[in-house]
Copies of this chain bind each other. A is one copy, B any other.
Amino acid sequence: VRDLRLDIIGFGHVGRALARLLLSRCEDVPFKVVSLVTAHHGWWSDPSGIDLSKAVDMTELPSKGPPPKIADLPGNVLVELTTLDPRTGRPALDHIQDALRERKHVVTANKGPIAHHYPQLLGHAWVAGRQLRFEATVADCLPVFDLARAALPLAEIRRIRGIVSSTTNHVLSAAARGVPFAEALADAQRLGIAEADPANDLEGWDAAAKATILANVLLGARIGIDEVRRTAIDERTADEAARAARQGARLRPVITVERLPSRTRPHHLEGTRVRASFAAVRLDPLDPLFAVDGLSMALELETDLAGTVVVQLHDPHVDQVAYAVLTDLLEIAGWRSPV
């Protein structure tokens, strides 16, 4: 197992959950955290390793003033956990580029940079000879890229359907139980799932970013977020969800990405032709996505060789985001399961 020294950027819910996870598994996972950097609550960096058990209880980290540049941090892996503007991917994008330039591996839980700049970032990682991993960006620790790598070798993914947008699924699931739209939305905000301005979720930008990642990474497309057709979820959709539930069906916020026939072998700069969308879809009880309720997430992958594989993560928590980051780190460390 390779020796990892982590520069963690961002120390909010996910960063703290990761720190607790690393502390609880310090016998199995001898990774050393050498930097913790926040935008507004200070930073802490020490090449010999910082004391995580102290850090998790601090609201303010000891060093004040502008934090060192990524290049000057002592780690060999950047763990990018900042909050960001999902429409531009900044500042996470700059952090990732700076880290790869310094030949650090990168693990990110930020979907923005991957949704907007995957081909370029993959190129940077390739040139640096380092890994860029982002398992947490689509659906917490629901296995997506890990699954494709380990269980679907040589298989071509033809179509993906998924429920990966917690706020909208929470709202529509609540509507099915008779909870009013505004109340369900306020509840999602209280739970910390929805942002203060929920437009990003309700208008499908969050889902579109995830659909873009799936299309570009798993299907080899080269689309932008704008190319995902979005149908917003609103009060009317919630009414429809309540009606569907009375009839034994469910309305679920579903992203769909499908490969389109192309006459010629795709040029690698153009990528595979795909159609991608996000909308509330009525599902019957025998649909594999029917039971994906509340905060649960799922993906259905239609493939040539493996048939149709569905993966679901039941009712995840922020700890499952941290675990997804840990699986990426273990992969970079060359960790092999004993089984």
Contact = CB atoms under 8 A, between A and B. Distances in A.
Interface of A: 21, 25, 28-29, 141-143, 145-151, 153-155, 217-218, 248, 285-288, 290-291, 293, 298, 300, 305-317, 319-320, 323, 326-327, 330, 335-337, 339
A217 B339 contact: yes
29 contacts: A25-B154, A141-B307, A143-B150, A145-B339, A148-B337, A149-B337, A150-B150, A153-B327, A153-B337, A154-B326, A154-B330, A155-B323, A218-B339, A248-B285, A286-B293, A287-B291, A288-B312, A298-B310, A300-B314, A305-B323, A305-B326, A306-B313, A306-B320, A307-B316, A309-B312, A309-B313, A310-B311, A311-B311, A311-B312
Contacts of A305: 21, 141, 319, 323, 326
A305 B305 CA distance: 30
- Specify which of A150, A217, A320 lies most central, judged by the most chain B CB atoms within 10 Å of its CB: A150
B319 A308 contact: no
Nearest to A143: B151
Nearest first, the 9 A-B pairs at minimum CB distance are: A150-B150, A143-B151, A308-B314, A310-B312, A149-B337, A285-B285, A146-B151, A146-B150, A305-B323
B306 A323 contact: yes
B311 A307 contact: no
A336 B326 CA distance: 21
Number of copies: 2
Contact of A309 (B29, B143, B287, B307): B143
Contacts of A327: 151, 153
Contacts of A217: 339
A160 to B, nearest CB: 13
A116 to B, nearest CB: 18
Contacts of A315: 307-308
A155 B143 CA distance: 13
Contacts of A310: 298, 310-314
A279 to B, nearest CB: 21
- Specify which of A142, A218, A248, A291 lies most central, judged by the most chain B CB atoms within 10 Å of its CB: A291
B320 A307 contact: yes
A309 B308 contact: no
Given A153-B335, A313-B307, A339-B217, A143 B148 contact: no
Contacts of A312: 288, 309-312
- Specify which of A217, A248, A308, A319 lies most central, judged by the most chain B CB atoms within 10 Å of its CB: A308
Contact of A141 (B141, B306, B314, B320): B306
A305 B29 CA distance: 14
Contacts of A149: 150, 336-337, 339
A203 B277 CA distance: 46
B311 A309 contact: yes
Nearest to A176: B286
